[in-house]
Amino acid sequence: MTRRRWTAQDQITAEVAAACGVPIRHIGDAIGRSSSMVKRHLVAAVAERERVDSRERMRKLLLTDSSRINEARKQRRLKDPESHRLREQSYRNRNKEALRERGRSFYHANRERLLAERSEWRAANKDKVSNWSKRHYAANKASRIEYSKAYYAANKERASKLRRLHYLANRDKYAEYNRQRLASRTPEQKEADRQRGLQWRIENRDRLKEKRKDWYKANKQKSIARSRQYAKLNSKRLKEYRAEYYQLNRSQIILNVKAWRAANPNARREYSRQYASRRRAANQRSICSMTLAAKNARFALWRNRCAFCGVDAKHPRNAGHDRLTVEHILALTKNGLDEADNIAPACHSCNCSKSNAPVEEWYRRQPFFTEARWRKICRHCPGAVIGQLPLAMPPADTEAA
């Protein structure tokens, strides 16, 4: 008999003949097939038993002669790789669910061994893995980005926690990578990064604001100490930045101040009451209360210029006021007196910057400090010297000795 494929016509003929009571042997003779083949296609139990027997025979064959069979398969694959690929693809398409379930079962049963082998292989082939990842990402960039966004949206807390843990475990590597990346950027890349960062900050302004507030509440003392340290190390730079910012935004700053005063009349009124109370207390302690003539005479000693930086009332540092402000050398909050010998003319910027700080300590930090002006302040204002006395007093145990 010839070996040909079992067709649908053969199936119909065999089923009709079997229904009419024709023996299987005669059916096989009539359609040119063996009795076993007719049985396999007509009797489900026979077909299933033959399949089980075939798999068992193949399993025993693989166990007894696996190397020879594997070598034969390899030779066939090398001889006709395209046919082998198509055959494997067809098999995977037909048995997709079964293969997936088999793979899951095998992975869960051998998880630790597979992970160890994978880690070992990746460690031995870092360059190969890196190149493959780059090529795959370049070829599937859009789909990878969409997948990452969807995964992060579905697992936001877990992804954030894993990123944070990875960063803490590899902080030095991240720092070195960022230094190298920033050092190798071109001017165009720097500008593109700056624009991208600016756009991101604009889009997430409220989020950043809330985040900064939360961090400040949780780390208030740390933030204050860090700000003071930065201001101490970058005083000149901050002064230049503030002066430049004020010049560029002067009108807007003045409008903001006026708007704040209009919106907070009670706060402004309370500040004025506190200041007036300190002035009254200082006047009560004074031997000679200050008059307008005495104040004008004090201003004339410095030719109506700031005792610290030397500018006149028309300079931008005076913030548009008609005349210079009264600066108490020993601040009223430090028990200074409201007397002529304790005041000096000062521009608005110097007055606000000094506040109630010790005058010499503050003045020597300023970029416009000069010894000549400081000697003149000490000569005409005893409070400049009195304010430094607590800093120069000897310790208590030395006095007792």
Most confident of 118-122, 259-263, 329-333, 388-392: 118-122
Per-residue b/e over 288-323, b at no fewer than 16 CB within 10 Å? eebeeeeeeebbeebeebbbbbebebebebbbeeee
Q: What are phi and psi of 33, to 5 degrees?
A: -130, 160
Tens of pLDDT, residues 242-252: 888 888 888 88
Q: Could you tell me where in the chain the CATH 3.30.40 domains are found?
A: 264-392
Give CA–CA dist 214/54, Å, rounded. Answer: 70
The pLDDT of residue 88 is above 90? no
The pLDDT mean for the chain works out to 83
- CA dist., res. 384 & res. 361, Å (int): 10
Q: What is the pLDDT of residue 286?
A: 65
**302 pLDDT band (50/70/90 cuts)?**
very high
CA gap 342, 346 in Å, rounded: 13
pTM assigned to the model: 0.35
The answer to whether residues 364 and 308 touch, using CB atoms and an 8 Å cutoff, is no
| Amino acid symbol at 152 | Y
Give residue 225's identity as a one-letter amino acid code: A
Cα atoms in the Cβ-side hemisphere of radius 13 Å centred on 214: 6
pLDDT tops 90 at residue 305 = yes
CATH 1.20.5 corresponds to the domain 264-392: no
In terms of pLDDT, which residue wins out, 383 or 294? 294
Contact 201, 208 (CB under 8 A): yes
